[in-house]
Amino acid sequence: MQITFWGVRGSYPVPGAATVRYGGQTSCVEVRSASGESLIVDAGTGMRALGNKLAGEAQGRPGHYHVLLSHVHWDHIQGLPFFSPAYIPGTQISVYALLTAADELNQVIGGITRAEFFPQPLASVPANFDFHQVEPGVEFTIGAFTISPIALNHPFGSVGYRIDGDDASWAYVSDTAPFDQVLHKQHFLSGPEPLSTTDQTSLVAMRAALVERLRGCDTVVYDTHFLPEEYAKFPHYGHSTPDQALDICVEANVRRLVLYHHAPSHTDDQMDSIAASYLAKGALRGVEVLTSFEGMSIPIGSAPSFDEPTRPGTGVHDVPQVPK
């Protein structure tokens, strides 16, 4: 397998002079098997550029695209209306996500293309959409991929995915808070709320299930939105730090951690510092730590290396592109 990052930011897009090297588009990752089958994980604004590439490959022919959503917050679905293959007649787009508490998934996705917001409603797009509910702990298969959904700790619910294929495995864990101070439910919190005994038991069980699902993964892409000092101010926002992600990966015997869902306020220079710091911290704990940037493409299942070349002036790994 190979994964390619088309959007690596959280919360909202921030393209501009301060985010040139790491990119400013929101969450979207492409997965390719050795045989050329593909999945799309999350549909943030990075999905627009991915769609243009896929439409070019299709040369006007309809295809079938599978989109795994972590959840339906805006920064994870905003790219869907701008996905070029959706405007090729005969195209099939299958969307997989948790069933939200407030509404059914097709109504949530359709809502972002209402006439008040967008010139073409979902119902009139040439592609056909179908929607599938996923359940944590219930595996399913799409072509060459076996997919295991994982419950995460985020307002209104979020789900991660372990994806196995080509005799290798990786996981996508975004968005999630850690599993100690806050248990997120079907509302946004104004601050940390007292944890009942039941809440504490739920958090322990959720963390244990995540570690078990990640156990032995080659690569884990993890929500590392906050630095520790930032998290201390906002423990109720539903996001994690690189240190918290590294603890999970060490416990699960993960080979490689990829920092992801970067805070929109983190500039390229700050990201360089984060990348260098956690590359070193990871090496001390036996985990290779990469920092995602738009266009980064990495093979899943390759031999570990802690001395890969860096891009000039960045201090971040320049991972070679793998031919598709």
Q: Let me know if domain 2-299 sits in CATH 3.30.590.20.
A: no
> Model confidence over 155-181: pLDDT tens digits?
778 899 999 999 999 999 988 888 888
Q: pLDDT: is 108 or 65 the higher one?
A: 65
> Model confidence over 258-300: pLDDT tens digits?
999 999 999 999 999 999 999 999 999 999 999 999 999 999 9
Question: E strands of 51-165, at which residues?
Answer: 64-68, 92-97, 128-133, 140-142, 145-152, 158-165
Positive or negative, the Cα torsion across 185, 186, 191, 195?
A: negative
CA distance 183 to 205: 12
> Model confidence over 182-197: pLDDT tens digits?
877 767 777 777 888 8
Q: Is 207 exposed, middle or buried (0-12, 13-18, 19+ CB in 10 A)?
A: middle
- Joined together, the tokens standing for residue 298 give 């990495």
Share of the chain above pLDDT 70, in %: 90
Phi, psi of 311 (to 5 degrees): -70, 140
* Average pLDDT over every residue of 51-68: 96
> Model confidence over 138-153: pLDDT tens digits?
999 999 999 999 999 8
| Domain spans of the chain, in order of start | 2-299
Chain-centre distance for alpha carbon 142: 18
Question: Is the distance from CB of 118 to CB of 112 less than 8 angstroms?
Answer: yes
